[in-house]
Every structure is written in C-alpha cells, then in structure tokens.
C-alpha cells in the first residue's frame, strides 16, 4: 500500500513572515511617503522551517507557549493564511474550528445561523439538512430555533455553536483552544466528544495549552518554540518538554524578581550541589542562606518562613527557638527537604534583636522559588513524614 495515501496533512518546510503593522501602509499618503523614503518593511518571522506529517486517524496536538506560532500554523493548515514559502498538502475535506460560531449574526434566527455557519464551514445545504435535527437536539434548543440569536443567552449561543462543531462530520477537524471557553460542564462535554473522536479514529488537529488533554487524548504531538518544531512524536515526551520549557521561563522571572531586594538582608537559594537555583523538584534538598552582614545593629536571632504564593504559611523556623547561637556570625544556612506540593513559593527572612523585636525583614519582593510540576503520590500541601503500621 502506498504510504502517502495515509497522510492527512503534509507540511513541508513552512516559513511565515508578517509585515509589522507600523510599517504597513494604510493610506495613500503613507504609501506615497514610503515610496519616496524607500521604507524598509519590518517583518516578523513567526514560523521558520516547520515540517511534519499528520497521518489519517491521528489525534494530533500542537502545543507551544504564547507566541510560538502555533495558531499561525493552524491558520495555515486551515487555509486562512498562505505560507511565505513551503507547502501544505491537505488530503481530504477539512473543517476548521478556529472559533466557534463563525459568521453568527444576532439578527438572524437560530435556524438561519446554523445554515450560515454550516455553509461557511464548507457544508452544502443538503449536508446541513441531514445534520440539522441532530444539531438542534444536541443543543437542546428545539423550541428556540425560530427566535433571533440576539434573544439567546450567551450560554445558549455557545451551545448552538458547539453543537454544530461536534455534529459536523469531515475527514479532518481542527480545534483551536476550544477548551479555553465555557464552564466546567462545557469542557466536560468537549472532552467526551474528544473521547469519541479518539475511539472512532477521526483525524483531529488540536491546539491547546492543557498538557493533561494532550497526554490523555492525543496520539501524536509537536511542540513549537519560536517558530521551530523542537519536539515531536509521543504526546508524553512533548508534554514533558513543554513543562520544562515553561519552568525555564518561570525560573527566569523569579530571578528577575529577586534582583530588586529592598532589605539589607540577603537570601540565597541553592540546590544539593550548592548551585544557586530557583526551581526544585519535589523532595529535593534546598539550602536557604541568609546574610545579615550589611545590617548595622547586632542581631540576636534569625527567622526563615516559607509561604505558598496563595498565602499559606508552610513553615517558619527561628534560631532562638531552636537554641542556635548566632552571636559571632553574619550568615547562616538552613536546609529543607522540599516535600511540598508543586507550585510557587516565597521566603520571608527576618532578623531580631532581643526577644521579638524585629529589626529587618525581607517582605515585599522576597525571594521566590518554585517546585516543579511532578507526579506526587500524596495530596495536600505537604508530605508529612509518616509510616504505615499494623494496629
């Protein structure tokens, strides 16, 4: 059997550049000025050599951070944009859901809108006649179809648009972040539909931020970053790489935030190897160092607190309470085993003179760190030391 007949979408070395709006001529005057000035157009490269194939029956995920080019790629596949260079081959009928309810007109009845939307999605009147009853039934809007769309609640509008999307049958279906809209029940419905697509080997292309969806439904995925494919193949591999990519960016942000410390206290974070870091694995040993050499007053005790970003006080330790003498010192380290839930945390360091007289603290802009996304075997905020025994 010929291999190419199994390919649903063939993407070959796609490049896409956009002319940035500030250099675009929107009036004759500007166009004339630009001819005289020989204004060089400022272009932005969004996709830079993307190549991959989507096989028939794939549930194909396209993931990437904001601005990585994934929506542009989707619009290229859908035929909304044309590539600057490269080619896209689509084998079979394709229906894109870049947005639900394209062309919906508030002045038209629900029924008219279904047919209008259907036509724009590439269905003939006959095909729509066949699907119409199913769509209405699924949307549970039977008695309202004669009314104008502007009299629908927003929930009813979404339901109608969504019903068209899921009852639409075509060789290839494209969804762009559909899960981002709608309440939990709606998202549940979306996932149920994805389940049936997966079971029936419907070819689906999905752009999403939700790695859970990718892991659960996709059979293949690509990760886009700055216009390049940096990972492709198994959804698990792609999802992990995406998480790592996000983490790197969070570390970057945390570092930036750490740079503007207002207090004279200095707090450092290091991992097991003694290297400075701002993100750690669950269970990793982290040493928090405090340096108060810049403080003029004498310090009798030091406190370290860890807060979850949402405000929960995870732990607080103090040298005085633990009877640690710091009289001759100007810095100190404390090691924690980070058996805490993945997420973002910040540290509050305090210096005291005497008992309870706080002379300095790092409060606003306190150093932050994050515990990496990870499969943990416990729930809640912390993994308390525990042991199972027979009674």
Partner 1 sequence: MRYLTTKNRAILREMVATDFKIRYQSSVLGYAWSLLKPLLLFAVLYVLFTYIAPIGEGIEHYGVLLLMGIVLWSFFAETTMIGASSIVSHGDILRKVSIPRYLIVIASSVSALINLGLSMIVVFVFALANGITPELSWLLLPLVILELFIFSIGVAFILATAYVRFRDVTYIWEVVLQAGFYARAIIFPMSIVPAELHKWFFLSPIVQIVQDARSLLIPSSDIITIWNTVDNRVAWLIPFAIIAAVAVAGFFYFRRQSKYFAEDI
Decide if residue 103 touches partner 1 (CB under 8 A). Answer: yes
Of 82 and 379, the one with the shorter C-beta distance to partner 1 is: 82
- Which of 38/126 has CB closer to partner 1? 126
Residues of this chain, 311-350, that bind partner 1 according to CB under 8 A:
none
Instruction: Check residue 152 for interaction with partner 1 (CB under 8 A).
Output: no
Count of CB atoms situated within 10 Å of the CB of 19: 12
Provide the token pair at 350. Answer: 């305090």
Q: Does 170 bind partner 1 (CB under 8 A)?
A: no
Instruction: Please give the structure tokens belonging to residue 149.
Output: 């769309």
Residue 54 Cβ vs partner 1, minimum distance, rounded to whole Å: 17
Using the minimum distance from each CB to partner 1, give the nearer residue, 43 or 315: 43
Distance CA 99, CA 87 (A): 24
User: Nearest CA to 203 among 370, 64, 376, 6?
Assistant: 6
- Pairwise CA distance, residues 64 & 228, whole Å: 10
Neighbours of 135 (CB within 10 A): 24
Residue 22 as a binder of partner 1 (CB under 8 A): the answer is no
Q: Which residues neighbour 15 within 8 Å (Cβ) at sequence distance 6 or greater?
A: 45, 47, 48, 49, 83, 84, 85, 86
Please report which residue ranges of 200-234 form alpha helices under DSSP H: 211-217
Strand, helix or coil for residue 373: coil
CB 351 within 8 A of CB 361: yes
Nearer to partner 1, 129 or 253 (CB): 129
Query: Among 96, 110, 227, 303, which residue interacts with partner 1 (rule: CB under 8 A)?
Result: 96
112 binds partner 1 (CB under 8 A): yes
Residue with Cβ nearer partner 1 (117 or 368): 117
In the complex, least distance from residue 368 CB atom to partner 1, rounded to whole angstroms: 39
Q: How far is the CB of 331 from partner 1 (least distance, A)?
A: 57
Angle formed at CA 97 by CA 206 and CA 229, multiple of 5 degrees: 35
In 3-state terms, what secondary structure has residue 162? Answer: helix
- Sequence-distant (6+) residues with CB within 8 A of 16 are 45, 46, 47, 69, 72, 73, 76, 81, 83, 84, 227
> Do residues 340 and 314 lie in contact, with contact meaning Cβ atoms separated by under 8 Å?
yes
Q: Which residues of 230-254 are buried (b: 16+ CB within 10 A; e: fewer)?
A: ebbeebeebbbbbeebeeeebbeeb
Q: Which of 45, 75, 169, 266 binds partner 1 (CB under 8 A)?
A: 75
Query: What's the min distance (Å) between Cβ of 75 and partner 1?
Result: 7
Nearer to partner 1, 78 or 277 (CB): 78
- Which of the stretches 34-42, 75-83, 194-202, 310-318 binds partner 1 when contact is defined by CB under 8 A? 75-83
Q: Is 261 in the site for partner 1 (CB under 8 A)?
A: no
Write out the DSSP string of 37-64: HTPPPPEEEEEEEEEEEEETT-EEEEEE
- Does 116 participate in binding partner 1 (rule CB under 8 A)? yes
Task: Verify binding: residue 382, partner 1, rule CB under 8 A.
Answer: no
> Applying CB under 8 A, does 132 fall inside the site for partner 1?
no
CB of 41 to partner 1, least distance (A): 13
Regarding 81 and contact with partner 1 (CB under 8 A), the answer is yes
Q: How far is CA 236 from the centre of its chain?
A: 15
Closest contact distance (angstroms) between CB of 96 and partner 1 is 6
- State the minimum distance, in angstroms, from the CB of residue 77 to partner 1: 10
Q: Is the dihedral of CA 336, 338, 340, 346 positive or negative?
A: positive
Of the residues 98, 245, 317, 381, which one makes contact with partner 1 according to CB under 8 A: 98
Q: How far is the CB of 13 from partner 1 (least distance, A)?
A: 18
CB nearer to partner 1: pick between 81 and 186 = 81
349: tokens are 């360091």
Binding partner 1 (rule: CB under 8 A), the pick from 6, 43, 79, 316 is 79
- Residue 181 in contact with partner 1, rule: CB under 8 A: no
Count interface residues toward partner 1 (CB under 8 A): 35
Give which of 163, 162, 161, 114 is closest to 138, Cα–Cα.
163
Q: Looking at 10, 12, 18, 342, which residue binds partner 1 (CB under 8 A)? A: 18
* Residues in contact with partner 1 by the rule CB under 8 A: 18, 24-29, 31, 75, 78-82, 96, 98-99, 102-103, 105, 107-108, 112, 115-116, 118-126, 128
């Amino acid at each position: 059997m010929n291999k190419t007949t199994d390919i649903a979408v063939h993407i070959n070395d796609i490049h896409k550049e956009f002319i940035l709006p500030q250099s675009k001529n929107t009036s004759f005057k500007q166009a004339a000025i630009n001819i005289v000035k020989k204004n060089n157009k400022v272009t932005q490269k969004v996709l830079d050599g993307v190549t991959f194939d989507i096989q028939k029956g794939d549930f194909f995920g396209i993931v990437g951070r904001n601005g990585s080019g994934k929506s542009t790629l989707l619009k290229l596949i859908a035929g909304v944009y044309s590539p600057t260079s490269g080619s896209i081959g689509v084998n079979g009928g394709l229906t894109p859901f870049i947005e639900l309810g394209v062309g919906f007109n508030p002045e038209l009845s629900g029924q008219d809108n279904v047919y209008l939307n259907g036509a724009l999605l590439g269905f003939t009147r006959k095909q729509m006649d066949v699907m119409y009853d199913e769509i209405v039934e699924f949307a549970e809007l039977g008695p309202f179809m004669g009314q104008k769309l502007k009299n629908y609640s927003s929930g009813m509008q979404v339901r109608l648009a969504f019903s068209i999307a899921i009852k639409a049958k075509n060789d290839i279906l494209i969804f762009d972040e559909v899960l981002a809209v709608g309440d939990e029940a709606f998202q549940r419905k979306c996932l149920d539909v994805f389940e049936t697509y997966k079971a029936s080997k419907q070819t689906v292309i999905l752009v999403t931020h939700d790695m859970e969806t990718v892991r659960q439904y996709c059979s293949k995925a690509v990760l886009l970053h700055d216009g390049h494919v940096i990972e492709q193949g198994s959804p698990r591999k792609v999802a992990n790489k995406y998480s790592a990519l996000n983490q790197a960016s969070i570390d970057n942000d945390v570092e930036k935030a750490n740079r503007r410390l207002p207090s004279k206290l200095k707090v450092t974070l290091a991992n097991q190897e003694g290297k400075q870091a701002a993100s750690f694995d669950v269970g990793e040993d982290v040493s928090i160092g405090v340096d108060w050499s810049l403080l003029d007053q004498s310090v009798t005790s030091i406190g370290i607190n860890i807060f979850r970003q949402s405000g929960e006080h995870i732990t607080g330790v103090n040298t005085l309470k633990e009877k640690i003498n710091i009289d001759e010192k100007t810095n100190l380290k404390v090691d924690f085993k980070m058996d805490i839930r993945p997420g973002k945390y910040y540290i509050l360091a305090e210096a005291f003179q005497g008992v309870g007289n706080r002379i300095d603290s790092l409060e606003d802009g306190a150093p932050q760190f994050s515990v990496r996304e990870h499969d943990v075997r416990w729930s809640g905020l912390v993994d308390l030391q525990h042991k199972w025994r027979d009674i």
